[in-house]
Amino acid sequence: MFRNYIKPVLGILFLILAFFVSVGFQNTSIPTTNYPLETPALEDGDGYLKHTGYAFVYNETHEQAKWVAYCLTKKETEGSHERTDHFVEDPIVKTGTATNADYSKSGFDRGHLAPAADMKWSEIAMDESFYYSNMSPQLPAFNRGIWKKLEEQVRDWAISLDSILIVTGPILSESLSSIGANKVSVPKFYYKAILDFKGTHSKAIAFVMPNQGSKAPLMSFAVTIDELEKLTGMNFFYQLEDHLEKSIEAKICPTCWP
């Protein structure tokens, strides 16, 4: 007798479960991606921190992030949340970050590492993109010129490739000039490393740009991941299988990037 009710009851339970799962995915602020977030290998002294839209390691000596890493998907680029332009100190950096006063009248822009336009899929992610832990002193001609052009190109790649992983940051070194009472270092170069993870068809490319205006084509700044690792002393995409990591980090294929 009870067997006659088993299938109908299971069917109803399945529909209820499917409903709640569907609602859960619709309300989540972090969209799913094709692969997990792979940050650079952590070194001694690195403090791994994470916000809604990006992960990072903060460098207290230079008062800015050592690197910022996040996935960007095609769907995320379709978000509609607008810029807040509300720059604030980062509450999860316990040692403190730069402040408005550090940048005031310095002649430098508060340059985003993870661009605000990449975070428009979430109101929280947008707000957190304006934390000073995500800022670095950039000359206006650089921040509003060639750097912005690279950010736009990366978004285009996220659209055409469906999803990519981005690691970006300043190249930090000793004896850099600084601004403000907190001595925020002014980097001479910035980088972006981009990974398109598609199994055996994966590819990667990196860019290293001087902190100055330029009208040169973007590809003139392209380098291999191996070259970027030598410049920064960091190990990018180390979680890939060894043979795949070795293959994609040693070469650039400009025609592979639409």
Output b/e per residue, 24-36; b: 16+ Cβ within 10 A.
Answer: eeeeeeeeebebe
Burial (CB count within 10 angstroms: exposed 0-12, middle 13-18, buried 19+), residue 51: buried
Give the model's pLDDT for residue 222: 97
Do residues 240 and 39 lie in contact, with contact meaning Cβ atoms separated by under 8 Å? no
Concatenated DSSP letters of 62-84: TTEEEEEEEEEETTGGG--PPP-
CA dihedral of 103, 106, 109, 114, whole degrees rounded to 10:
-40
Cα–Cα distance, 79 to 76 (Å, whole number): 6
Q: Please, where are the H alpha helices in the chain?
A: 3-27, 100-103, 123-128, 140-141, 147-161, 225-232, 242-249
Give the model's pLDDT for residue 15: 40
Of these residues, 62, 112, 201, 243, which one is catalytic? 112
Element spanning 193, H or E: strand 189-196
Distances (CA, A) of 191 to 183, 194, 207: 22, 10, 5
Give the model's pLDDT for residue 28: 31
Residue type, 140: P
Element spanning 163, H or E: strand 163-170
Domains annotated for the chain, with CATH where assigned, are 36-256 (3.40.570.10)
Cα–Cα distance, 196 to 31 (Å, whole number): 17
Number of other CB atoms surrounding residue 74 within 10 Å: 16
* 112 given a catalytic annotation: yes
CA dihedral of 17, 19, 21, 25, whole degrees rounded to 10:
180
Per-residue pLDDT of the chain (258 residues; tens, 9 = 90+): 545 555 544 444 444 333 333 333 333 333 334 444 568 988 877 889 999 999 999 999 999 999 999 999 999 999 999 999 999 999 999 999 999 999 999 999 999 999 999 999 999 999 999 999 999 999 999 999 999 999 999 999 999 999 999 999 999 999 999 999 999 999 999 999 999 998 888 999 999 999 999 999 999 999 999 999 999 999 999 989 899 999 999 999 988 997
Distances (CA, A) of 152 to 77, 117, 122, 146, 158: 11, 9, 19, 10, 10
Give the model's pLDDT for residue 42: 87
The phi, psi pair for 28, rounded to 5°, reads -65, 145
Instruction: Report residue 136 as tokens.
Output: 């670095």
Cα–Cα distance, 226 to 31 (Å, whole number): 30
Cα–Cα distance, 221 to 209 (Å, whole number): 6
Cα–Cα distance, 114 to 195 (Å, whole number): 15
- For the chain, the residue count is 258
